[in-house]
A and B are shown apart, each in its own frame.
Chain A
Amino acid sequence: QKEVEQNSGPLSVPEGAIASLNCTYSDRGSQSFFWYRQYSGKSPELIMFIYSNGDKEDGRFTAQLNKASQYVSLLIRDSQPSDSATYLCAVNGGGATNKLIFGTGTLLAVQP
């Protein structure tokens, strides 16, 4: 059973701080990794994806991937109250259908 693990939180950070969200996965064959943001009552919104070891930056967001340790993280710099949401980590297990396996999500609360 392929698994994706996240701390459910809530992770509380003050406005302007760096929020660090972590995710581990069980399948070493996983090839690409995604972070989604989900506001309460809304559908998931893709923030970033990463498939190579190292860092990938997009604005205030940085995704970090370490395949040897089987973890992927998301850093949010200069956190804003509008970043308060559940962040879902998803892993593409490969194969013909490219289906995603989702973690349970981490609830982030940015305190003004």
Chain B
Amino acid sequence: SAVISQKPSRDICQRGTSLTIQCQVDSQVTMMFWYRQQPGQSLTLIATANQGSEATYESGFVIDKFPISRPNLTFSTLTVSNMSPEDSSIYLCSVERGYEQYFGPGTRLTVT
């Protein structure tokens, strides 16, 4: 498995501001993923972050809104920019180990 931490665990932000979420894993991994889980819904992949290259975004998600950094093999950040209430969600990072993906504890974001 993997030990993954995320910061912050939750936050309440005002619309128009930005929040950066950090994800730290206990050992080196090639692929890190960022997901969003809106209230009562399943997980939607935002982007895949591979160290040393630009993140790959899924349809409906753009770099200007969700910039991602991946400075090394154990760390990544996701920024939610120019937030609106529609961005209220749980944001989860995950890492790949072999065939399996493991999730961090998530960041619960509320935008007022």
Contact = CB atoms under 8 A, between A and B. Distances in A.
A44 interface: yes
A102 B33 contact: no
Interface in B8-60: 31, 33, 41-45, 48, 50, 56, 58
A43 B99 contact: no
A49 B56 contact: no
Given A43-B92, A104-B41, A105-B42, A97 B56 contact: yes
Nearest to B97: A46
Contact of A43 (B1, B42, B48, B104): B104
B45 A98 contact: no
Interface-centre pick from A45, A51, A100 (highest chain B CB count, 10 A): A100
Cβ-closest 10 pairs across A and B = A43-B103, A102-B43, A104-B42, A97-B48, A102-B42, A43-B106, A44-B103, A43-B105, A99-B45, A105-B42
Contacts of A19: none
A46 B48 contact: no
Interface residues of B, number: 23
Contacts of A99: 33, 45, 48, 58
A49 B104 CA distance: 18
B12 to A, nearest CB: 16
Given A97-B56, A98-B31, A44 B43 contact: yes
A88 B35 CA distance: 14
